[in-house]
Chains A and B, each alone.
Chain A
Amino acid sequence: MNKRLLALLSVLVLASMVLAACGTPAPVATEAPVVTEAPVATEAPVSMGTIKIATQSPLSGGQSLLGVAIKQGAELALEQLGGDLAAMGYDVQLAPYDDQATPDVGVANAKNIVADSEILCGVGHLNSGVMIPSSEEYHTAGLAFISPANTNPVVTTRGYLEVNRIVGRDDVQAPAAEEYAFSTLGAKSVFIIHDKTAYGQGVAEFFRVAAEEDGITVVDFVGTEETANFDAIIAPLVASTPDVVFFAGIYNQAGVFFKQAREAGFEGTFLGTDGMDSSDLADLAGDALTTGGGMAYTTVAGPASAYPSAAQFVEDYTAKYGAAPEAYASQGYDAMGVCLASIKAAAEAAGGTPTRAQVAEAIRAISYEGLTSTIAFDDIGDLPFAKYFIIKVNATSKDTWGTNEIIASFDLPSPGK
């Protein structure tokens, strides 16, 4: 009995020591500037401690190509743009997390991220379905995140101060895809298929509403988690001969579906949104993308070559990682750029290591000249005007992905809350 009491006591003592240790960084942060303010301006920087910036994106699994692009873009930005903070005496580090494109993993990582008090800002995610639950954690902890890729409106319409994005939205993107199907392709009927995720189903619904308004017949509206054998969906699809098949989902599922649908005799056009934007799609689907009516997709992240100021970035990225940047690499770069600039602004305003709340406020106040556009956020964290592209696929293998053409691009206003 006594022994047990002793053990309990020692655990309590240990716990209080740990808690005390956790508590100390805060006072250090506020007192430090008094000591170091003068030397910073003139002499070599005095160490001000560590600041970490997290990235969360799928680094393994079927969607890792895009997730790794986000991380590498952010890494390159930290290397090239981290100089200002280093000059102020901060050791700025990247803390990459792998969300495996899975909500559960994303939320678990988010809990780890918010528990690390050195993390002041984050870049992520790739998938809206992962971003939405994870950002509840960021919101509770007051940690600002900048999304390089999430397009589901709900990401920002919750109105959280901590959630920002530097790309467009599905409620603009999907109608743009529909407009292309209706006006350019002259489609009379469409078969809509989605992947049952927040992203896919959201896009599919927006597309359906727009199609019905224009009088396009929606032959069927189907959700599926199938990744290998689509026979059962394809049989009625081929029989109903729609002009367009709209796939709202991610390339790793769509590529297999496109291939099987083409084999089964579908001759129309495949249409998709930004989830299709990966060179892996061409490897999976092969010439299904160019035969028949071909394939086109809308995206919020054009290829890096679409942005005039990104030429140097493409060169640096290719030199560092040995491959041309995939979609979202330049968005990852910009998101990291916004993080760094905001932390710097907040640090200057606070006269020392800023708090998470100060960084979040600084992000909303910033006007940042990025690769993809001039980034400034409205009151819910969206860009007031975002870029949208329509891209026609000419590639039949990974190596020729660069031959895809941009058919159109527009700047469209954010619909707001």
Chain B
Amino acid sequence: MKQFTSNPFYKFIIFPIGQILVFALGASLVLSLFTVLLAYIFRSAMTEFDLVERVLLILPQVVINGLTIGFVYSTIALGYTMVYGVLEFINFSHSEIFMVGGIVGVELMAYFDHTGALQTMNQYVIIALAILLGMVISGSLAVTVERVAYKPLRGAPRLVPLISAIGMSFFLQDAVRLILSLTTGEFNVILPNFGTFDEFLILAVPGIATPLRFQIKSILLVGVTVLMLVGLNYLVNGTKIGKAIRAVAQDRPSASLMGINVNMIISITFLIGGALGGAAGVLFALKATKLDPFVGFFPGLKAFTAAVLGGIGNLTGALLGGLILGLLESFSASYLSTFTNGAFGAEYKDIFAFAVLILVLILRPSGLLGQTVGQKA
């Protein structure tokens, strides 16, 4: 058994994918069962329609929507949690790194549209290029931000870099707004139409009345994020750089004494976190079709919440937290109105999702998987 688990193929491919699958399916299943149970309990209270039937009708779609947005949250949350791991502060400008990645990706596609290449090139090549460019720009931006705004404050009390990060966040928002509106005064970027991403794969499942509909871009989004998560897992757990990152996260002075270049490792952490954020931005843009310089705020806030929910500083926790938050949001937005007979609409989804967060934190203050990271001074 030991020999099998230390096999790199198992350790870096099968295990992380299995973990993601278990998390995604487990969280979906628990929430679905809970919702259906609630529907059975309140079935008799609703006279106008059959609550259970109404719930089951859209259940698969709600799960798919929740997982899609959940993977985006997870990918952004990794950026928060990695930086927290090594520096122990919340990098609030990460939501803007995410936004910049998305805008850069869309601008690249708009450029291809302008030159006419958009309709002739393979659509997956275009997406791959956009994601790569988003990763490069966001990664280098994150490193620059660290150098400019956080490194000079390395020795300062923890609140100081936090405030610096908030300032950086506002600065980046308005800098992007300024750049985008230089020529036209318009700072919305709109994704050009191309390829077959808007189409659906329709999967008829025996026993379910409405066939499952998977939008190609949602599949793409989930596929790419899973790929990145597996890659990240390998990087952190299977390489020397990863070992150095973990060492710096555990004990910075000792790591430094062992000959690890701490500044370099911190830069690399920001590079990885930023690149993940940038890729998530491009994938999110594909889904949202319109971005503006302020679009990063809410996904960023939710991803930060997801990181806390999962246990900040813990990479697996960020993944789990993101998925749970995405599902919670999707379930509450889609079902609140049905269960309350219209008294509470989808606008209360965040109250519901955050109430769950508060409950979890009351019961487990260090987050769902937070126990593995000891509190450091």
Contacts and interface: CB of A to CB of B under 8 A. Distances in A.
Nearest to B60: A235
A231 B198 contact: no
A265 interface: yes
A222 interface: yes
B69 A231 contact: yes
Q: How large is the interface on B (under 10, 10 to 19, 20 to 34, 35 or more residues)?
A: 35 or more
B330 A232 contact: yes
Nearest to A192: B345
Contacts of B333: 232-233
Contacts of B291: 228
Interface in A222-271: 222-229, 231-233, 235-236, 238-239, 252, 255-256, 259-260, 263-265
A288 to B, nearest CB: 10
B185 A59 contact: yes
A415 interface: no
Contact of B61 (A61, A196, A235): A235
Contacts of A255: 290
Given A239-B58, A256-B290, A222 B347 contact: yes
A229 B287 CA distance: 7
The DSSP consensus for interface residues of chain B is: helix
A292 to B, nearest CB: 14
B213 to A, nearest CB: 7
B198 A263 contact: yes
B25 to A, nearest CB: 19
Contacts of B345: 220-223
B188 A252 contact: yes
Contacts, number: 100
A64 B187 CA distance: 9
Interface string B53-81: 01001100110011011000000000000
B290 to A, nearest CB: 5
How many of chain A's residues touch chain B, expressed as a range? 35 or more
Contacts of A222: 337, 345-347
Contact of B347 (A223, A235, A263): A223
A93 B63 CA distance: 58
A105 B171 CA distance: 18
Contacts of A62: 187-188, 292
Contacts of B250: none
Which of A62, A196, A229, A265: most chain B Cβ within 10 A? Answer: A229
Interface in B139-175: none
B288 A228 contact: yes
A416 interface: no
Contact of B181 (A60, A229, A238, A256): A60
Nearest to A263: B198
B45 to A, nearest CB: 18
Nearest to B65: A231
Contacts of A65: 186
Contacts of A259: 289
B295 interface: yes
A283 B215 contact: no
B296 to A, nearest CB: 10
Contacts of B177: 60
A220 B342 contact: yes
Interface string B185-207: 11110100100001010000000
B185 A224 contact: no
Given A65-B186, A232-B62, 11 more contacts: A59-B185, A196-B347, A218-B342, A222-B345, A224-B347, A235-B58, A235-B62, A236-B337, A252-B188, A265-B213, A284-B289
The 5 A-B residue pairs with the shortest CB-CB distance, nearest first, are A232-B333, A228-B288, A231-B65, A222-B345, A223-B347
